[in-house]
């Protein structure tokens, strides 16, 4: 996760959701921003929050007390770091995201062969096998796991619609009182700019049901709470 303490704002980068473009915009907009883990730009919100706790010298034994104190202060309208941190993320149709992830890992040139099983599956197996490992074998995080659904930062988190990223980001920037991008860069897109999802759907077959089960929060709730431009939708407490 990218964090700017000076501006009290963060970007949580779920893979293959326009994150490279958002990452570049965030660094350009908030010069003090830093990755909590320099070699892991995809650290999820719960892990990031735990790391922020540790960096501020809070002992694990006191973490629950601190979390409860943060809740009380927030209810009283008193911002407390890091529970006052405002977070931006992006949501994308899960199947499209999984296809993009599969293609990216297959074409990515590594200096040494990766060791993570789900990455190796993408590089050496057929898409159907990768999809099964991702959604049946829980090889990738769900959106609610990654963004800490119901957690301490949930009410401060705004999730942008991947398909209307620029106007959605402009809307959240207006809400948060920060400058919107003059132009959001396009980075890490598919080489030809588009892909044949029908071919992947045919190969997935019955596993499409597993995608919907694994990402049921997105289809039931997430798709309705994304910011698409105009007035941002606020997260449920």
Reference 22, options 12, 9, 36; nearest CA is: 12
Mean model confidence pLDDT for the chain: 86
Residue 214 has which token pair? 């694994």
Cβ–Cβ under 8 Å, residues 46 and 148: yes
pLDDT at 124: 95
| Residues 137-156, mean pLDDT to the nearest whole number | 96
Least confident residue range of 115-119, 159-163, 194-198, 202-206: 194-198
- Residue 236's pLDDT band (cuts 50, 70, 90): very low
Residue 118 has which token pair? 């789900």
What phi-psi label fits residue 35: left (phi over 0), alpha (psi between -120 and 50 degrees) or beta? Answer: beta
Three-state helix/strand/coil letters over 136-167 = HCCCCCCHHHHCCCCCCCHHHEEEEEHHHHHH
CA distance 136 to 21: 30
Taking the whole predicted model, whether its pTM rises above 0.75 is answered as yes
Q: Does residue 193 have a pLDDT over 80? A: no
| Residues 140-153, mean pLDDT to the nearest whole number | 96
User: Which stretch, 17-31, 72-86, 201-215, has highest mean pLDDT?
Assistant: 201-215
Strand, helix or coil for residue 227: strand
Domain 2-225 classification at class level = alpha beta
| Residues 10-16, mean pLDDT to the nearest whole number | 96
pLDDT at 75: 58
């Amino acid at each position: 996760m990218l964090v700017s303490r000076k501006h009290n704002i963060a970007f949580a980068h779920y893979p293959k959701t326009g994150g490279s473009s958002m990452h570049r915009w965030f660094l350009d907009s908030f010069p003090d921003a830093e990755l909590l883990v320099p070699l892991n730009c995809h650290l999820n919100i719960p892990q990031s929050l735990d790391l922020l706790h540790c960096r501020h010298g809070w002992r694990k034994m006191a973490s629950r007390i601190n979390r409860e104190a943060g809740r009380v202060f927030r209810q009283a309208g008193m911002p407390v770091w890091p529970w006052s941190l405002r977070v931006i993320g992006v949501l994308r149709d899960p199947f499209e995201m999984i296809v993009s992830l599969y293609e990216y890992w297959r074409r990515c040139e590594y200096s040494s062969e990766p060791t993570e099983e789900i990455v190796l599956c993408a590089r050496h197996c057929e898409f159907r096998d990768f999809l099964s490992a991702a959604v049946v074998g829980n090889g990738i995080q769900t959106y609610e796991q990654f963004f800490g659904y119901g957690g301490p930062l949930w009410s401060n988190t705004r999730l942008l619609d991947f398909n209307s990223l620029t106007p959605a980001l402009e809307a959240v920037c207006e809400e948060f009182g920060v400058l919107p991008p003059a132009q959001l860069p396009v980075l890490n897109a598919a080489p030809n700019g588009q892909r044949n999802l029908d071919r992947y759907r045919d190969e997935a077959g019955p596993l499409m049901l597993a995608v919907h089960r694994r990402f049921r929060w997105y289809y039931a709730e997430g798709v309705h709470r994304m910011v698409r431009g105009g007035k941002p939708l606020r997260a449920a407490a």
